[in-house]
Structures are given as C-alpha cells and as structure tokens.
Amino acid sequence: MTKLKKGSRCTICKAKGEKEKAVVFLPHHRLALCKKHFVEWFEKRVEKTIKEFKMFSKKDRILVAVSGGKDSLSLWNALNNLGYEADGFYIDLGIDQYSEDSKKLSIEFSKKIGRNLYIVDLKEEIASIPVINSSTNRPACSACGTVKRYYMNKYAKQLGYNIIATGHNLDDEAAVLFGNTLHWDINYLKKQYPVLREEGGFIRKVKPLCKITEKESALYAFFNNIEYIEYECPFSEGASSIEYKELLSQLEEKHPGTKLKFYADFLRKMYPILKEYERKEQEEIKICKICGEPSFNDICSVCRLKGIIEKASTNN
C-alpha cells in the first residue's frame, strides 16, 4: 500500500486514455488508483462480496452495528451509497472517554448521511464493560463480544430489521482464522463464515468487508471525509488477535496477497468440509428460560452474566 512509485498513473484512468496520478497502490490486486477510482473500486468490491455470499438484497432492512471506528462507518457509508436500506445501531459500552468519543462520532455521521442511529446504553441493560470486567474473570473482550451479539440480535428483531451487518474486515477475519487454526478449534472454525444464517431466533449476520483490508477501509474513510475514532478500545490491549494481526501483516509485507489467500482459500476449500461436519454435530438452539432469547443452554450467557454481576455487587 505504501510503495506507490513517484509519478505512477491510475490504472483505470490510463486504460481510458486519461492521465490522473495514482494516490493508492494495492500490490495484492496489482492496482494503482486515483482517489475517485479507489472509492469506486472499494464500493464495487463490497457489492461483489454481498452478491458472492448472498448476504442481502435491496429489499432487506439492514442494521449496521456501528462502533464509531473506520470499518463500521465506511461500511455504512458504502451501503448507503450503493442504495441499500441501512440504519445504524450503537451500543454505549460505558468505557469512559472511548465510549463518549465513539458515540459522538457515530451520531455525527448518522446525521451526515441522514439515516437513523439507534443507541443502547449497556449500563441500563446489564452493566458497563468496566463493571462487567471487574465482576467476572472472563477476558474483557470475550464478555464484551457476548453482550454485543446478544443486544444487537434482540434489538434488531424488535426494531424490525432482518439483517445485522458488522464492520469486521479481512485483517480481523484472517487473525481470528489464524488463532482458531493454531488451536484447531473446530467449533469456532465451522462458524467462521461471512454469513451466519437466520435460525431459531438468531437473525442473519453478515460481514460485507471480509475481503477489504484495514488499510483500505481507513483510506476509504479518509477519502470520504469520515471522522472516526482513531484509538483502540483500552480493554483490547494485549488481546492475542492483535499479535496475530501483526504476524500476518509482516507476512503480507513480504508476500502481498497472503492474508486474502489464507482467508479466501479457507472459505473455498476448508469451509465446505467443516459444514458437513456441522450438519452431524449441530448444536440445538433453545430458548433462555429467563429472558426468552435464543441460547445454546437453558440459561443464556447474558442472563448468566447478570447473575454473576448481581452476586458480585451484593458481596461488595
């Protein structure tokens, strides 16, 4: 991405007989692009991914899970430009300045594109992430992921949306795939597909940026003047996925295309085999006895978490 040669021309402009200078070089696609053609390329690639995995159509009502970061805001912008019905959903995790800043940026962006943004305050639903973190011994990111998935699903259904779209990008997916492969975690690997189908009270979840790198989504945000939160969540420090991302980026630097090939070949060659395995070992979806939401156990993980937090608060 950084190795743009001085004076390079945009590949697409050149083919049209124009002489626009390239501002971006995508070595794994062998493309040098001007600003206009990079933005076009990005949106076309998102559209192609949506079609390739049959994620949704113009008739669907999509709720974009918005964190205030570059990926989810770029995704929302691209879906809006492509003509999809997409509103936003932000969960205020109560992580001090990080949540304040990311909420403000999400609200401002929703106003800019003129779409609804629903905001759910985790403090009112269960407890803030710092409180959850101090009441349990689960890693913060794992508890945070559980509550985010639960409330996104619950509210998307209540608000009448049939699709949840998240901003997970290629770097995220390749890093998770790397970790799951390192541990041969079949139960996670068999779920690592960019579309999770609707079933038993879970609505369809999709990742339209799964073939877009982190750098590409940052550039798309930059070229579209999208203001996003530039620092990481303070709780994510030391997460193993960050280490995996660094390792994969080192490989990518030497061998452009490694990340995409690793992930795309998994989907093409390995996932169909795992899907067969899934059919035989399918977990039964139940209904949580406390809240009525779908769950793989009699009591869902959020209701269990609530119990742990209540216990911790009465002990203090």
- Single out the segment in contact with ligand AMP by CB under 6 A; choices: 160-168, 242-250, 288-296, 297-305: 160-168
Please state the closest distance from residue 311 (CB atom) to ligand AMP, in A.
26
Report residue 94 as tokens: 């109560």
Per-residue contact track with ligand AMP, 7 to 46, x per CB under 6 A? ----------------------------------------
Contact call for residue 267 and ligand AMP (CB under 6 A): no
Query: For 183, which DSSP code?
Result: T
- Single out the segment in contact with ligand AMP by CB under 6 A; choices: 4-12, 42-50, 167-175, 276-284: 167-175
Report residue 35 as tokens: 């600003």
Q: Which residues contact 309 (CB under 8 A, 6 or more apart)?
A: 126, 127, 131, 132, 135, 136
Q: How far apart are CA 42 and CA 60, in angstroms?
A: 22
Contact call for residue 133 and ligand AMP (CB under 6 A): no
- Single out the segment in contact with ligand AMP by CB under 6 A; choices: 61-69, 256-264, 273-281, 292-300: 61-69
Binding site for Zn ion (CB under 5 A): 10, 12-13, 20, 34, 37, 288, 290-291, 300, 303
Residue bearing tokens 């079949």: 186
Q: Helix 35-52 and helix 214-223: axis angle, to 10°?
A: 130
In the complex with ligand AMP, which residue's Cβ is closer, 10 or 210?
A: 210
Binder of residue 34, out of ligand AMP, Zn ion, none (CB less than 5 to 8 A by kind)? Zn ion
In the complex with ligand AMP, which residue's Cβ is closer, 167 or 256?
A: 167
Binder of residue 71, out of Zn ion, ligand AMP, none (CB less than 5 to 8 A by kind)? ligand AMP
Residues 68-127, interacting with ligand AMP (CB under 6 A) = 71-72, 89-91, 93
Amino acid at 8: S
Binder of residue 20, out of ligand AMP, Zn ion, none (CB less than 5 to 8 A by kind)? Zn ion
Report how far apart, in Å, the C-alpha atoms of 136 and of each of 117, 148, 291 are.
31, 17, 21
Q: How far apart are CA 264 and CA 114, in angstroms?
A: 35
Paired strand residues for 21: 9
Contact call for residue 65 and ligand AMP (CB under 6 A): yes
Q: How far apart are CA 93 and CA 122, in angstroms?
A: 5
Could you tell me the strand order of the sheet in which 204-206 lies? Answer: 117-121, 85-92, 61-65, 163-165, 204-206, 195-196
Residue ranges binding ligand AMP (CB under 6 A): 65-67, 71-72, 89-91, 93, 148, 166-168, 172
